[in-house]
Amino acid sequence: MSETPKSFLQRLVGNGELKLNRKLGIYMVCLLLSCLLWLLITLSDRYETEIIFPVTYSGIPKSKVVTNKLPETITARVNAGGFNLLWYKLKGQGEPITFEIPSSKLRELDGNHYTLSNNRIEKISAQLGAKIKVLHIYPDTIYIDFAEKLKRKLRVKPDVNMTLEKQHGLMDSIKTDPEFVNVVGPKNIVDNMQFAQTEKVTLKDVSDKQQVNIGFAKPENSGAVTFSPETIKIIVSVEKYTEGSIEIPVTVRNLPKGSRLKVYPEKVKITYLVGLSNYDKVDAAMFAVGFNYKNLPKGKGNKVKVEVQNAPSYVNSVKVEPVSVEYIIQK
């Protein structure tokens, strides 16, 4: 006669162990039911606790700006059932509470405006629902400093600290997009601003075009100043530079009528660095090198230093060779 599964299992683990496992299972079920019953009873009670709420503000006059930093959160002492508190923790926490501060209801003491938080308990309770009762709000007093608001459109001034890779230079001046932004803040601050300066940007060993998104540096002690848009784009155009050279005649300024002056050498060599995009634009007529007759040294020989009097804006590192020329005055 073949062995039944039950007899095989009993023979394998023993009757004693089966009974022990059965008792352990019953014990675990009873423990789970007890914990669940305890949790239900506990959550049915009402509790007093503190909850931190993010807060937003409304009712600020459009012609005014708040100059001090208002609390970003408030702490409320509440009374509610355990289920309601648990539900709020799971679903409601993080939703901002609207805090109305109309100027008509503000109090004033020694020139400072303030409002009492606990005067808003009913409105805040209505936002939380009838099942959560607000008992007290902290801080109990919120101070508010107002200033007249001013809006201006100002040119953006980029603050860039930059180094270029060897034999590279700017193709153009540093640009911003947009060139102008709207600035809003206290009148006494915005009225004195000449431009909207960006935060500092540091670029090292730049060899090609760079575009950087950056915000604005606020004037000192002026947290109420805002910019629109909040960020702008700084554009730096860089290209490789090459060396060029050209010979041009030495010119003399303010030579008296009837006087003649002989210069040796008559021409000097100019070397310069220029971007590849402008290399073919350079012409000798764009340069002027010479000296002022009125500045000739008296009794100090017949040599004078020549100076670059004119050069294209897109060339750099202009050098003259030789730096001095000899002259002979013929009257």
* pLDDT of 42: 63
Q: Is the pLDDT of residue 60 over 90?
A: no
With respect to residue 2, please indicate whether it lies within any of the assigned structural domains. Answer: no
* pLDDT of 215: 95
With respect to residue 32, please indicate whether it lies within any of the assigned structural domains. Answer: no
Mean pLDDT, residues 199-218: 92
User: Amino acid letter at 195?
Assistant: F
Q: Which of 182, 205, 236 is the last residue of a domain?
A: 236
Among 17-21, 198-202, 234-238, 315-319, which stretch is predicted with the lowest mean pLDDT? 17-21
Half-sphere exposure of 235 (CA within 13 A, CB side): 9
pLDDT per residue as tens digits for the range 81-90? 776 777 666 6
Token pair listed for 207: 């060899």
Mean pLDDT, residues 305-312: 92
* pLDDT of 7: 58
Whether residue 296 is found in the same domain as residue 218: no
Residues 6+ apart with CB under 8 A from 63: 148, 149
Whether residue 167 is found in the same domain as residue 88: no
Whether residue 216 is found in the same domain as residue 280: no
With respect to residue 90, please indicate whether it lies within any of the assigned structural domains. Answer: yes
Whether residue 60 is found in the same domain as residue 138: yes
Q: Which pLDDT band, with edges at 50, 70 and 90, does 9 fall under? A: very low
With respect to residue 137, please indicate whether it lies within any of the assigned structural domains. Answer: yes
CATH number of the CATH domain containing 225: 2.170.120.40
Mean pLDDT, residues 189-218: 92
With respect to residue 257, please indicate whether it lies within any of the assigned structural domains. Answer: yes
Whether residue 326 is found in the same domain as residue 246: yes
3-state DSSP call for residue 24? helix
Mean pLDDT, residues 266-282: 92
With respect to residue 100, please indicate whether it lies within any of the assigned structural domains. Answer: yes
* pLDDT of 195: 94
Whether residue 199 is found in the same domain as residue 248: no
6 dihedral zone (left: phi>0; alpha: psi -120 to 50; beta): alpha
Residues 6+ apart with CB under 8 A from 303: 324, 325, 326, 327
Q: What is the mean pLDDT of the chain?
A: 82
* pLDDT of 285: 92
Q: Is the pLDDT of residue 102 over 70?
A: no
Mean pLDDT, residues 9-22: 55
Q: Which of 105, 120, 144 is the last residue of a domain?
A: 144
DSSP string, 47-99: EEEEEEEEEEEE---TTEEE-SPPPSEEEEEEEEEHHHHHHIIIIITTPPEEE
Whether residue 138 is found in the same domain as residue 163: no
User: Which has more pLDDT, 4 or 88?
Assistant: 88
CATH number of the CATH domain containing 85: 2.170.120
With respect to residue 211, please indicate whether it lies within any of the assigned structural domains. Answer: yes
With respect to residue 178, please indicate whether it lies within any of the assigned structural domains. Answer: yes
Q: Residue 230's domain spans which residues?
A: 149-236
CATH number of the CATH domain containing 246: 2.170.120.30
Q: Structurally, how many domains does the chain consist of?
A: 3
Whether residue 53 is found in the same domain as residue 121: yes
Q: Which of 204, 236, 268 is the last residue of a domain?
A: 236
Whether residue 254 is found in the same domain as residue 225: no
Residue 177 has phi, psi (to 5 degrees) of: -135, 110
Whether residue 111 is found in the same domain as residue 64: yes
* pLDDT of 265: 93
Whether residue 227 is found in the same domain as residue 257: no
Whether residue 162 is found in the same domain as residue 196: yes
Cβ-contact 147, 294 below 8 angstroms: no
* pLDDT of 172: 85
